[in-house]
């Protein structure tokens, strides 16, 4: 009786593990088309705090509305970049979706109002660098 109970439990455990592995495999393949975007914003002197406030208070919320998923936001540790650089990574379901998401974001009346209001004291962003990326098979983020 004990051996039979052991076999039943072992079979159940192996089935669970196999199912988990298959689910993970299909989940990873389903996300293969997700594209990541690295964006680096270079601000005019003294304007980084205004850019950070705009992202913190408005931009991320508007991104969410347009299916732009925030992964993370950073500032460099070393000068002179730390005074004028915001780095962030976002994701989109695909490259085509990224194009659509950005077009809708830029056309959003709320974003246009926020952008205009945040630049009442002068322009904030001098230059934007954008790089689209695919996650590698050994990346922690897929």
Overall domain count for the chain: 2
Residue 80, preceding peptide bond in cis (omega within 30° of 0): yes
Residues 89 and 109 placed together within one structural domain of the fold: yes
CA distance 39 to 84: 14
Q: Are 46 and 125 in contact (CB under 8 A)?
A: no
Task: Classify residue 67: in a domain, yes or no.
Answer: yes
Residues 20 and 75 placed together within one structural domain of the fold: no
Give me the mean pLDDT over the 123-130 stretch.
98
Structure confidence at residue 51 (pLDDT)? 98
Residues 47 and 88 placed together within one structural domain of the fold: yes
Residue pLDDT, tens place only, 37-88: 999 999 999 999 999 999 999 999 999 999 999 999 999 999 999 999 999 9
Residues 17 and 74 placed together within one structural domain of the fold: no
CATH code: domain of residue 63: 3.30.70.100
Structure confidence at residue 32 (pLDDT)? 61
Residues 63 and 106 placed together within one structural domain of the fold: yes
Range of the domain at 93: 35-133
Task: Classify residue 139: in a domain, yes or no.
Answer: no
In 1-142, beta strands by DSSP E: 35-43, 69-74, 85-92, 125-133
Residues 69 and 23 placed together within one structural domain of the fold: no
CA distance 110 to 60: 12
Residues 89 and 127 placed together within one structural domain of the fold: yes
Residues 49 and 107 placed together within one structural domain of the fold: yes
Phi, psi of 71 (to 5 degrees): -100, -45
Nearest CA to 67 out of 41, 26, 37, 32 is that of 37
Torsion angle (degrees, nearest 10) of CA 11, 15, 18, 21: -130
Residues 71 and 100 placed together within one structural domain of the fold: yes
Structure confidence at residue 140 (pLDDT)? 86
Residues 94 and 118 placed together within one structural domain of the fold: yes
Structure confidence at residue 116 (pLDDT)? 97
Residues 62 and 98 placed together within one structural domain of the fold: yes
C-alpha of 135 from chain center: 12
């Amino acid at each position: 009786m004990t051996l039979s109970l052991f076999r039943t439990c072992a079979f159940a455990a192996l089935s669970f593990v196999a199912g988990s592995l298959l689910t993970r495999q299909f989940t990873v393949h389903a996300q293969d088309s997700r594209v990541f975007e690295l964006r680096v914003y270079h601000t005019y002197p003294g304007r980084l705090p205004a850019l950070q406030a705009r992202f913190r208070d408005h931009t991320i919320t508007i991104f969410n509305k347009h299916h732009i998923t925030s992964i993370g936001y950073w500032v460099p540790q070393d000068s002179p970049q730390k005074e004028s650089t915001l780095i962030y990574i976002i994701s989109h379901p695909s490259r085509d979706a990224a194009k659509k998401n950005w077009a809708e974001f830029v056309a959003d009346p709320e974003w246009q109002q926020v952008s205009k209001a945040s630049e009442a004291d002068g322009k904030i962003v001098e230059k934007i660098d954008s790089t689209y990326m695919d996650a590698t098979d050994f990346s922690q983020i897929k």
